[in-house]
């Protein structure tokens, strides 16, 4: 059965044009179109969509409200905002409820890739546990320290970056925000450092104060006794990569890969079947939801699935080596935009 | 009795002792009275003398007090004779106009003030009735004896001295006030400019939203038409082949005739050739519209009043996109932007405004040099490190225009200084630029203009704004 993709926009011309332009995707997706939030919910009740693409400003139920309902009721959907709006308060409400923000006008290729890549990765996964990026939480202690740092009179951005880097949930959040056009133009980055600098302390503070930056809770909802502390593995990956190759982008990519790998491991562990292939697929899926550069998604997806045993032996080194291989295969710089 | 005997030759009768005694007593009394009177008078005189001396001293004190006051007052005071020559000047007046005791005797008020108010407007009576100088003051230019000038404000009142009509000229050097006014005006102008940009930004992002939605569906539709047309062309080609095949089988078939006629009527050859490129061009145009809308949105950055990381290379391309209309007819733009340039902490809207100012100035200089000849504006960026700024980004804006004369170069960052024709420039551009780069961002700006070679503005912006705070804390 073809996955259902639902498009929501109050401007019928946009929907009709999308239908026309996307007609070739008819072979891949079952596309539905709704002119309002309410109509979208009606459709979703009978036909559970795998992806929802919604405009933001709509009369009645707006995009933020719709995506809020969808993320609660169907957390496994891929949720994309397609909007010409730059209204910060409105955008703020979609943080955590949507995976990606695409500004209008958006080309067919970009839109199709944004839907297709996570959907494909998702289809091969079949993991009921991978409902959402919200499966990772930030411990309250870290959240409180970060809040203090962000409200400190003398802002120390380096300290803020170190804090965020050490928390998987926060790292994933800043990477997602920077790689998407929620607030200003998107950049293509795999570096938490770069992402934080791009977003700026003011935005992070306003997100934190509005409880949009991260979910606060016990260390992990997925698994209380972690196989390996997430940020430790990430650091090992970074170390392994710096021994392999001094390229700063690769080193950043290794850190982020380690982070995603560890989070994927927690998810797999929670399902009770920790298998490296599935862990690689999950990590790649997470990377695609964060809108990370396509090379990174591909690299994670192709992390030596045939050498399961070796990976479990010394994961950091294998992630670094695999990442380097995958990146070298693709000669493009780290960019999918 | 005895009086009857005056005419008599008979000697006067001798006075009796009693008589003499009485006379003596009388005379003694008279002398005593006289002496008493004398003493009283001389005492009175002495008292008067004392009072007078005292009065004189008080007067002298008053005089000295008055003179000191006049000399110490913050106002320059001149006593002027009826013919306009200077009679007296207090210390500050001497200082203000660089007067010389020996010299000012021959001076006339017109030597000191550019503009003299007509006498009819002078204050009648004394100045003390006027509450403040500002109420009656005239603003003009003061002229010093050494030829320099300064803004001055003065008031005149008339009075009499030794029966002569004199006028009192009270003047004040208002350079500081003028400077403060200028600063205030330039701040106001900057504020107005900022408000203008702010509202432009708000408007632009609203308009951008409105435009982006139609661009979205127009682009999608044109894309669809383009793809469909490619499919149709394929199909038409196939049908042509089919018709050819049919023609071989039955050359006289009426359908073939109709097909050929219609093909010709519709000018289908032309349509098949031109339609795809018409659609491609439309898509290209839409892309341009989208780029410009995006640039305007980014350029104005509404609501960004806080320092955040700014990508200078992006700021330059954005600003060029918005200002294209201002430079495309006058010059070519050459971009030498360093890859992997670090971002600087700054106010994106302000930095964009600076870049716009510099680009517009460069274009003006090129047009001024020769309106016919196309010039080149080169924008260059690079990462640098200096002791003052630490890691920084350097922006160079070079033009092939008129260049900047040294006397202009020394004043060009002053508010309201402009070399442009009246109505062409406000003289605010470079002052605002200076303020944004140096004051707000802690950067530096300089200008190099070798004679006859155009000009280069060099801006340096530190990457980290919190550097100083950090240092303080450490």
ipTM of this complex prediction, to 2 decimal places:
0.79
What's the pLDDT score for residue B56? 92
Provide residues of B within 8 Å CB-CB of chain A. Answer: 205, 208-221, 223-224, 227, 286, 290, 294, 297-298, 303, 306-309, 314, 343, 466, 469-470, 472-473
- Judged by CB atoms closer than 8 Å, whether chains meet at A21 and B220 is answered as yes
Query: CA of A1 to nearest chain B CA: how many angstroms apart?
Result: 26
**Which tokens go with A180?**
């998407």
Helical axes A192-199 vs A157-165, angle rounded to 10°: 130
- Cβ pair A155:B466 closer than 8 A: yes
Rg (CA), chain B: 48
- Tens digit of pLDDT for each residue in B269-318? 899 889 999 999 999 999 888 888 888 777 766 556 677 778 899 899 98
- CB within 8 Å: A17 and B217: yes
Q: What is the structure's pLDDT at B396?
A: 95
Query: In this complex, do A105 and B219 lie within 8 Å of one another by their Cβ atoms?
Result: yes
Query: Would you say B91 and B71 are in contact if contact means Cβ atoms under 8 Å apart?
Result: yes
Least confident window among A51-60, A243-252, B55-64, B126-135: B126-135
Cβ-proximal residues to B462 (8 Å cutoff; 6+ apart), any chain: B344, B345, B389, B390, B391, B392, B441, B442, B443
Closest Cβ–Cβ partner in B220, B307, B473 for A17: B220
Residue B428 CA, chain-centre distance (Å), reads 7
Q: How far is CA B268 from the centre of its chain?
A: 67
List pLDDT tens digits, range A280-319: 888 889 899 999 988 888 888 887 555 555 555 677 888 8
A210-260 tens-digit pLDDT: 888 887 776 544 444 444 566 788 888 888 888 888 888 889 999 999 888
Task: Provide mean pLDDT across the span A184-203.
Answer: 87
Of B212, B309, B472, nearest to A198 by CB-CB distance is B309
Integer Cα distance of A287 and A258 in angstroms:
11
Pick the range with the lowest mean pLDDT from B97-106, B284-293, B360-369, B415-424. B415-424
Contact B79, B108 (CB under 8 A): no
Instruction: Tell me which of B283 and B121 has the higher pLDDT.
Output: B283
Q: Chain B partners of A23 at a C-beta cutoff of 8 Å?
A: 224
Q: Is A17 on the interface with B (CB under 8 A)?
A: yes
Give the angle B155-B159-B160 at the CA atoms, nearest 5°. Answer: 155
The secondary structure of B281-326 as a DSSP string is HHHHHHHHHHHHHHHHHHHH-TT--S-EEE-HHHHHHHHHHHTHHH
Does residue A17 register a pLDDT over 90?
A: yes
Which of the pair, A131 or B189, is modelled with greater confidence?
B189
Question: Which residues of chain A have a CB within 8 Å of the CB of B290?
Answer: 105
Reported as a pLDDT band with limits 50, 70 and 90, residue B165 is confident
Ranking A85-94, A116-125, A180-189 by mean pLDDT, the lowest is: A85-94
Q: Are A179 and A191 in contact (CB under 8 A)?
A: no
Per-residue pLDDT tens digits for A134-193: 567 788 888 889 999 999 888 888 899 999 988 888 999 999 999 998 887 888 899 999
Least CB-CB distance to B216: which of A23, A24, A105?
A: A105
What is the arithmetic mean of pLDDT over B245-249?
87
Q: State the Cα angle at A200 between A198 and A205, rounded to 5°.
A: 145
Residue A155: its chain B contacts at CB < 8 A? Answer: 466, 469
Closest in A13, A88, A157 to B217, CB measured: A13
- Mean per-residue pLDDT, B223-228: 92
- In a mutational test of the B interface, the residue from A33, A56, A83, A86 whose CB has the highest number of chain B CBs within 10 Å is A86
CB burial of B55-82 (b: ≥16 within 10 Å; e: otherwise) equals eeeeeeeeeeeeeeebeeeebbbbbbbe
- Nearest residue of A to residue B208 by CA position? A84
Q: Please name the member of A57, A88, A106 whose beta carbon is closest to the beta carbon of B216.
A: A106
pLDDT for residue B37 = 93
Query: B470 vs A154: CB contact, 8 Å cut-off?
Result: yes
């Amino acid at each position: 059965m073809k996955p259902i993709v639902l498009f929501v926009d109050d401007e019928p011309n946009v929907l009709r044009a999308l239908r026309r332009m996307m007609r070739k995707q008819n072979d891949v997706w079952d596309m539905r179109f709704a002119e309002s939030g309410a109509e979208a919910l009606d459709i979703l009740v009978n036909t559970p969509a795998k992806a929802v693409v919604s405009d933001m400003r709509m009369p009645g139920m707006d995009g933020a409200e719709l995506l809020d309902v969808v993320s609660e009721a169907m957390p496994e959907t891929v949720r994309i905002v397609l909007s010409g709006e730059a209204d910060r308060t409105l955008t703020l409400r979609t943080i955590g409820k949507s995976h990606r923000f695409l500004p209008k006008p958006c080309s067919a290729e970009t839109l199709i890739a944004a839907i297709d890549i996570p959907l494909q990765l998702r289809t091969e996964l079949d993991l009921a546990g991978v409902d959402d990026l919200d499966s990772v939480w930030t411990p309250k202690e870290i959240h409180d320290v970060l809040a203090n740092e962000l409200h400190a009179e003398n802002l120390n951005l380096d300290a803020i970056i170190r804090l965020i880097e050490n928390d998987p949930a926060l790292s994933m959040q800043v990477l997602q925000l920077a790689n998407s056009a929620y607030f200003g133009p998107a950049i293509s980055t795999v570096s938490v450092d770069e992402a934080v600098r791009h977003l700026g302390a003011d935005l992070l503070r306003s997100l934190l104060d509005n409880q949009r930056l991260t979910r606060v809770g016990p260390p992990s909802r997925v698994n209380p006794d972690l196989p390996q502390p997430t940020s430790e593995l990430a650091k090992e990956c970074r170390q392994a990569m710096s021994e392999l190759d001094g390229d700063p982008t690769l080193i950043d990519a290794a850190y982020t890969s380690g982070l995603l790998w560890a989070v994927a491991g927690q998810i797999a562990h929670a399902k009770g079947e920790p298998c490296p292939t599935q862990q690689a697929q999950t990590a790649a899926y997470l990377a695609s939801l964060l809108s990370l550069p396509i090379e990174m998604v591909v690299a994670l997806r192709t992390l030596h699935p045939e050498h399961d045993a070796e990976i479990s032996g010394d994961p950091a080194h294998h992630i670094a080596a695999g990442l380097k291989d995958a990146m070298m295969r693709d000669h493009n710089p780290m960019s999918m935009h | 009795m005895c009086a009857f005997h005056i005419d008599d030759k008979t000697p006067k009768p001798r006075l009796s002792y009693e008589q003499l005694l009485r006379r003596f007593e009388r005379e003694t009394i008279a002398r005593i009275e006289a002496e008493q009177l004398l003493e009283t008078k001389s005492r009175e005189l002495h008292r008067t003398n004392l009072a007078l001396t005292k009065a004189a001293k008080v007067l002298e004190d008053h005089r000295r007090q008055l003179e000191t006051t006049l000399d110490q007052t913050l106002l320059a005071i001149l006593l002027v004779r009826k013919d306009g020559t200077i009679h007296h000047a207090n210390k500050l007046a001497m200082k203000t106009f660089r007067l010389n005791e020996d010299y000012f005797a021959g001076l006339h008020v017109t030597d000191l003030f550019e503009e003299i108010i007509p006498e009819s407007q002078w204050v009648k009576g004394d100045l003390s009735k006027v509450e403040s100088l500002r109420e009656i003051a005239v603003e003009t230019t003061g002229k010093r004896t050494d030829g320099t000038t300064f803004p001055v404000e003065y008031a005149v009142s008339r009075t009499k001295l030794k029966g002569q009509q004199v006028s009192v000229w009270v003047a004040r050097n208002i350079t500081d006030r003028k400077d403060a006014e200028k600063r205030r005006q330039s701040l106001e102008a900057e504020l107005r400019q900022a408000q203008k940009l702010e509202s432009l930004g708000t408007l632009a992002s609203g308009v951008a939203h409105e435009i982006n939605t139609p661009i979205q569906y127009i682009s999608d539709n044109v894309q669809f038409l383009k793809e469909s047309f490619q499919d149709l062309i394929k199909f038409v080609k196939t049908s042509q082949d089919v018709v050819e095949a049919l023609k071989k089988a039955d050359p006289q078939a009426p359908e073939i005739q109709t097909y050929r006629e219609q093909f010709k009527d519709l000018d289908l050859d032309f349509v098949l050739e031109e339609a795809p490129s018409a659609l491609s061009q439309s898509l290209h145009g839409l892309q341009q519209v989208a780029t410009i809308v995006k640039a305007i949105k980014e350029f104005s950055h509404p609501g960004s009043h806080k320092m955040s990381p700014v990508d200078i290379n992006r700021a330059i391309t954005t600003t060029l996109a918005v200002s294209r209309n201002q430079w495309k007819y006058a010059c070519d733009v050459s971009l030498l932007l360093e890859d992997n340039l670090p971002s600087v902490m700054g106010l994106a809207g302000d930095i964009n405004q600076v870049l716009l100012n510099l680009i517009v100035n460069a274009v003006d200089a090129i047009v001024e040099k020769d309106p016919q000849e196309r010039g080149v504006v080169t924008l260059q960026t690079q990462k640098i490190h200096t002791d003052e700024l630490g890691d920084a980004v350097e922006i160079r804006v070079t033009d092939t225009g008129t260049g900047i004369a040294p006397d202009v170069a020394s004043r060009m960052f002053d508010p309201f200084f402009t070399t442009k024709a009246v109505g062409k420039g406000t003289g605010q551009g470079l002052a605002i630029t200076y303020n944004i780069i140096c004051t707000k961002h802690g950067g530096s700006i300089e200008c190099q203009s070798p004679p006859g070679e155009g000009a280069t503005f060099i801006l340096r912006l530190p990457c980290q704004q919190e550097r100083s705070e950090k240092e303080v804390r450490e």
